[in-house]
Structure 1
Amino acid sequence: MFVRSSQRDNLQMPGFSYWGGYGEYTAIPNADLNMVKSPESVSFEAGASVGCRFMTSFHGVIEQAKVQPGEWVAVYSVGGVGLAATHIANAAGANVIVVDISQDKLDFAKTVGADVTINSTETNPWEAIQDITKGGAQVSIDALGIAETTLNSVLSLRKRGRHVQIGLTTSEEQGMVTLPIDIMTLKELQFIGSFGMQAPNYPTMLKMIGSGKLNPDKLVTNRISIEEASASSKEWGSITRWALQS
């Protein structure tokens, strides 16, 4: 299983910075650092499913936010990262609220661990979360990265809450969003960035998958051959570009 350290200055990823993302065989630079053996208790499909959305969410939920049992966790946008974050937070014993504009995605989120769903086309999400949780969530995660979800995520928090930013901004924001700094200061909120996951941290996640505490298989909705992967990737890229432009 190939993994990487997300804080290296010269980050290298197959399929992103060099060829090999969909190769049956590929060269892995610094393999002694960048590879972790997948235990036999983890199925092939589960192992294939952990990168990159699942491990990214695991790092954000477990290692960065340090979600605790009984806490309220709000997840904004339930695409791949948001669904994984929902499942992982639920496995950690949290009460999970998910927010999206797609009812189909919200319905699917319930099957992987969401306790409450909010369609943000029908109601103000952060006001609803403040009401449901009687004061705000302890943790809120922006898994999308647009200005609206980042702001709503921060406003969803109670005093001393932790906002986790996983989603990167689009070409519209260009890395810059407006935040309610006075509220963040008065409430003593934490703003936590989260990117990827470091190689030494994989064994903890894999152990939880092998024991059945985490089940990334639940997020698998389609199976394709490696020969079909490239075409599927191009199709998904076209969908993503269309979504960002619309």
Structure 2
Amino acid sequence: MKVYAIQDGFGLDHVRPLEKQIPVPGTGELLIKMRAVSLNSRDLGVIDGFYNPHLKLPFIPVSDGVGEVVGLGENVTRFKLGQRVSGIFTQSWISGEPTQEGWVSTLGNPLDGLLAEYVVLPEQGLVHVPDHLSDEEAATLACAGVTAWHAVVEEGKVKSGDTVLVQGTGGVSLFALQFAKLHGANVILTSSSDDKLERAKALGADQVINYKKTPEWDKAVLELTDGRGADLVVDLGGAATLNRSLQALRVGGQISIIGILSGASVENFDIIAAILRKARLQAINVGSRDMFESMNSAIAQNALHPVIDRVFPFEQSVDALRYLSKGTHFGKVCISL
């Protein structure tokens, strides 16, 4: 079978095709013929050596995908041949709170990822995906979808009438927009592109802010909410956005810290603003299998469709990763097998 692997060093120039034997499922495991994968910014960090500069090479990247069960190991009870499944991001996180030990079971680092024609995964680390979704749509759920669901629904507990501020138009951001609207919230969305803002409005965003044209976007949020602020801020920016997210928050509101697109270390963190707003800062690291399954039920019941920017063929996997690195996408970038 063909895989794409990081070879001979870090960086996209070192991601190349590689021939490997089709793996054999052991007890409690399934052989999955991959149909599609989707890309996350984390994948680029893994490929660049940011997350683990000591990663043993060659290494197969990419954490999110969907495939068909084509082989069963002994004692498999949760799935049957021919069913479509997706791997959960943290393979050992089934329910409840995560554990420190669980972080060694994440797909695409440190476990080999899914940019391969076939993979073997344990049945406990898999879920069924909604029938109405295409393979590419289903492939977007494991990280971006579950992260947004965790932030908006599980921790944010967003309800009708709440105001949710969402940063950007990547996969997590647009899922957060969709899930917030599903729960009756008013959504304010920020982007540097007027075109993307118009597309976000078509998806249901109630108000939009171009942060390039309005650098003090936190004040704009306060104006849009009559001085109250947002109940929940989905913060994807990190270093450059967290202090403004605080300023845009209502008293007693919550910030879901998800991304580090502008850096991972915040200088001059505004502690006073956090205290005055009684702010709750909740870090989000994808989610459990239970969250994934709850999200899938909501997606199926509401016939929701993830937003896909572009689909590349498997042979153009490196081109897909390069496209993602440009940051011009609206929604998810996928690879079809």
Q: Indicate the TM-score class for this superposition, using the shorter chain for normalisation.
A: 0.7 to 0.9
Q: TM-score, normalised by structure 2?
A: 0.63
Q: How has the CA–CA distance of structure 1 residues 78 and 221 changed in structure 2, closer, same or farther, with 3 Å as cutoff?
A: closer
Q: 2:258 aligns with which of 166, 181, 191?
A: 166
Q: Which runs of 4+ in 1 moved over 4 A?
A: none
Rg comparison, structure with higher value: 2
Q: Does residue 87 of structure 2 align to residue 2 of structure 1?
A: yes
Q: What is the aligned partner in structure 2 of residue 225 from structure 1?
A: 313
Cα distance between partner residues in 1 of 2:88 and 2:278: 35
- Does 1:21 pair with 2:111? no
- Sort the Cα spacing of 1:161 and 1:213 in 2 relative to 1 into closer, same or farther, 3 A: farther
| Structure 1 alignment gaps of length 5 or more | 241-246
Q: What is the TM-score when the length of structure 1 is the normalising length? A: 0.85
**3-state SS of the aligned residue for 2:311?**
coil
Residues 19-75 of structure 1 show CA distances to partners (whole Å, capped at 9, x for unaligned) of 3421121122xx233111224354433311213222211111111211111101111
**Aligned-partner Cα distance in 1 for 2:282–2:133:** 30
Q: Distance in 1 between matches of 2:175 and 2:267?
A: 25
Q: 1:227 to 1:155 in 2, by over 3 A?
A: same
CA displacement at 1:213 relative to structure 2 = 5.1
Question: Which of 48, 56, 59 pairs up with 2:150?
Answer: 59
Where is the strand percentage greater, Structure 1 or Structure 2? 2
Amino acid at match of 2:308: V
- Contact 1:76 1:149 (C-alpha < 8 Å) held by counterparts: no
- Amino-acid identity (%): 27
The 3 A distance-change label for structure 1 pair 212 and 132 is: same
* CA distance in 2 between partners of 1:63 and 1:177 (Å): 29
Q: Which amino acid is 2:304 matched to?
A: L
Partner Cα separation in structure 2 for residue 105 and residue 41 of structure 1: 26
Give the equivalent residue in structure 2 for 1:236. 324
What letter matches 2:157 in structure 1?
Answer: K
RMSD value, Cα: 2.1
1:130 maps to 222
Q: How does 1:48-197 map to 2 (within 5 A)?
A: 48-123=139-214, 124-134=216-226, 135-145=228-238, 147-168=239-260, 170=262, 173-197=263-287
| Cross-structure match for 1:244 | none
- Alpha-carbon distance between aligned partners in 1 of 2:144 and 2:268, rounded to the nearest angstrom: 26
| Cα 1:178–1:22 shift into 2, 3 Å | same
Q: Which has the higher helix share?
A: 1
Q: Take 1:207 and 1:32, find their aligned partners in 2: how far apart are those partners?
A: 19
Structure-2 separation of matches of 1:212 and 1:72: 21
Which amino acid letter does the alignment assign opposite residue 4 of structure 1?
A: F
Maintained 8 Å contact 1:91/1:213 = no
- What's the counterpart of residue 126 of structure 2? 35
Deviation at 1:16, TM superposition (A): 3.4
Alignment coverage as a number of residue pairs = 232
